[in-house]
Structure 1
Amino acid sequence: MSLQADFGDFQYRSHVYVFALKMSFLAVIFSGVIIALTIPPLGFLGLLPVTLSHAISFGAIFSWLIGGTVSGMLSLATGFTMHELMLSRAEFEKLSRTDTLSGLLNRRAFTEALDRTEGDASLVIFDVDRFKAINDRFGHACGDAVITAVSAVLLSAFDELSVVARLGGEEFGVIVSGEPLEARLERIEAVRASIAGRPIVAEDCQIAITISGGVADLIAGRNKQQVYASADRALYLAKALGRNRVVHEREGLHHAWHGLAETGANAEGRGLGSDNVMHAYGI
């Protein structure tokens, strides 16, 4: 009768009762073995105050009443103590992986999910545009309301196959899986448009917000840190091109080379946007 599995399952109350029942039976069996080893020799030596059969019967009764009952009660107490500890540990683990304001996963949990991601998927880094200006103009309570509202939109827009997290501040990360690339990009763009089209009401203020996004592809064999860096560069480019847009890493290279061509053709007349694009891609 193995008890090893029970110690890993104390988060379930039913397993606590099973554990206590097993311990009671073990106590009875152990008591029965002791009785079987001690009473017959005592009877043979004439040291029993009753007959051998009565002594064995009394021993069996006491092993059930005392050994089984006491062991069961102690096991229940121990089991429920372990149950509370397991629940507390699970709650602590959940809190350590959750962003308290948005209720989304935090950066640590997102990084772990990113490392576990295999197969075809897209990594998106979203950033709320001009968030500092929102905080400065409307106050931090409104800024928190913006974070909460954006979190709700992201959580509702992506299914259970995707991973949504708040990476810190006004930055969010999403791992989009389960669809072809073009469908994933359409969904990401739809999220951007949805947020841009609905003002957020907070503290008696209506706040119009937009978000920018950078997208990189997660494919087999590609380094996850490189994917993250590429999505981050694409986000930088989306900001440099005027914000309120989503840029895929392929578009980033196109814009970067376009900016380089601009430099050669008309160095004096190129705009600040071209400089930002080239800087984002190290050109």
Structure 2
Amino acid sequence: MSLQVDLGNFDSRGAVYNFALKMTFRAVLLAFLFNLAVLPLGYALGLMPLSLADAVKLSVAGSWLFGGAVSGALALLTGHVIRELSVSRAEFERLSRTDMLSGLLNRRAFNAALAETGPGASLAILDIDRFKAVNDGHGHCAGDEVIRSVAGILREVFEDEHLIARLGGEEFGVIIRGGGLAQRIGLVERARNLVEARVIRCDGAAIHTTISAGIAEFASDLRPESVYSAADCALYRAKAGGRNRVVHETEEGNCDRCDKPAAEASAAGMNPFIGEPVPVAG
């Protein structure tokens, strides 16, 4: 008879009542077995004036009345406490993976997903164009509103099928799963078009913005940081090519900005774009 408690089972009130019911039956059974065990001792010592049948009936009633009622109430209270702890733990975990401004996943959650993604997916790194000019011209509140608006568009385009995260500042990352390459690129283009068409209003000002994006493909022979580096270089080419563009890693162009930092970081065993140690093969 196991008394082990799994906090994952306390995600609903029904689970709490189920827990209390199980604990009540266990308590009743234990109380009844205890009473049966002490009955012979009571008769041997002359402390039991009742007949055996009456003593058994009294044991059953006492087990339910005291063991069942008291343990049931305590189990119900304990179950509610455990459920609150379970809900709090789940909420804490969710908050630790969420960017508070945009409501998207944060970099921690993105890095974890990046390491687990395999072939058949694309990585898009998106950056709001001339974001500093928005902050300088309209204030940081307007900048925050622009970030929230772009995040909303990304949610609208990619929905729950793909992973969307704010990587920091005005930069976002999307892991696009499934479909063909053209379809995945088309989703990023759709997001770019929607951002370009959106008018963001803040304190009476109408703000227009655009995004640039770089896309790279996951492959079985590529490490996640290599995919990130390729997408980041494609983003750099999109910026250098005039902004408000989507560039795939296969498009021709140089990325001198990435070569030297990447080489230096690789020699140091670090990923220059994710900012975390990279395991070095033996």
What is the deviation of 1:278? 3.6
Q: Which residue of 1 aligns with 2:253?
A: 255
Residue of structure 2 in register with 1:101 after alignment? 101
Amino acid at match of 2:211: I
**Who is 1:195 aligned against?**
195
Show the 5 A alignment for 1:118-129: 118-129=118-129
Q: Single out whichever of 35-44 and 150-159 deviates more from structure 2.
A: 35-44
1:242-268: CA deviation from partner (whole Å, max 9, x where unpaired) = 2111111111xx222xxxxxxxxxxxx
Worse-matched range after superposition: 102-111 or 50-59: 50-59
Output one character per residue of 1:173-204: Cα deviation in whole Å (capped at 9) or x when no partner: 00111210011112211211221122212211
The aligned runs of 1:233-244 (5 Å cut-off) are 233-244=233-244
Which aligned pairs between 1:134-145 and structure 2 lie closer than 5 A?
Answer: 134-145=134-145
Q: TM-score scaled to structure 1, two decimals?
A: 0.87
In structure 2, the partner of 1:210 is: 210
The Cα of 1:206 is off from its aligned counterpart by 0.8
Let me know the Cα RMSD of the aligned residues: 1.7
Query: Residue 20 of structure 2: SS of its match in structure 1?
Result: helix
Gaps spanning 5+ residues in structure 2: where?
Answer: 261-282
**1:62-109 superposed Cα distances (whole Å, 9 cap, x missing partner):** 110000110010011111000001111111111111111111111111
Tell me, in whole angstroms, the C-alpha distance in 1 between the residues paired with 2:34 and 2:210. 77
* 1:22-33 equivalences in 2 (<5 Å): 22-33=22-33
What is the alpha-carbon distance in structure 2 between the residues aligned to residue 7 and residue 42 of structure 1? Answer: 42
1:279 is displaced (CA, Å) by 3.6
Counterpart contact for 2:7–2:83, Cα < 8 Å: no
Unmatched segments (≥5 aa) in structure 1 = 257-276
What residue identity is the alignment partner of 1:255?
A: G
For residues 221 and 11 of structure 1, the distance between their equivalents in structure 2, rounded to whole angstroms, comes to 40
In structure 2, what is the Cα distance between the partners aligned to 1:178 and 1:192?
20
SS in structure 1 at match of 2:160: coil
1:46 partner SS: coil
Secondary structure class of the residue paired with 1:222 = coil
Preserved contact between residue 40 and residue 52 of structure 1 (Cα < 8 Å): no
- Aligned match of 1:165: 165
CA offsets 1:219-258 (integer angstroms, 9 cap, x no match): 223200110111111111211122111111111xx222xx
Q: Which residue of 1 aligns with 2:184?
A: 184
When Rg is computed on C-alpha atoms for both structures, the one with the higher figure is 1
Which residue in 2 is equivalent to 1:265? Answer: none
Matched, 1:35 2:35: yes
Q: Distance in 2 between matches of 1:60 and 1:278?
A: 84
The one-letter amino acid paired with 1:108 is R
**Any conservation in 2 of the 1:6–1:15 contact (CA below 8 Å)?**
no
Confirm or deny: 8 A CA contact 1:122 1:218 kept in the other structure.
yes
In structure 2, how many angstroms separate the alpha carbons of the residues matched to 1:89 and 1:118?
A: 30
Displacement over 6 Å in runs of 4+: none
Deviation at 1:10, TM superposition (A): 1.5
Distance 1:66 1:280 in 2: 74
After superposition, the C-alpha distances for 1:100-131 in whole angstroms (9 at most, x for unaligned) are 11111111111111122233110000000111
Separation (CA, whole Å) in 2 of partners of 1:204 and 1:3: 62
User: For the residues of structure 1 that align with 2:110 and 2:257, how far apart are their CA atoms?
Assistant: 28
* TM-score relative to the length of structure 2: 0.87
Q: What count of residue pairs does the alignment treat as equivalent?
A: 261
Structure 1 residue 147: Cα displacement: 0.4
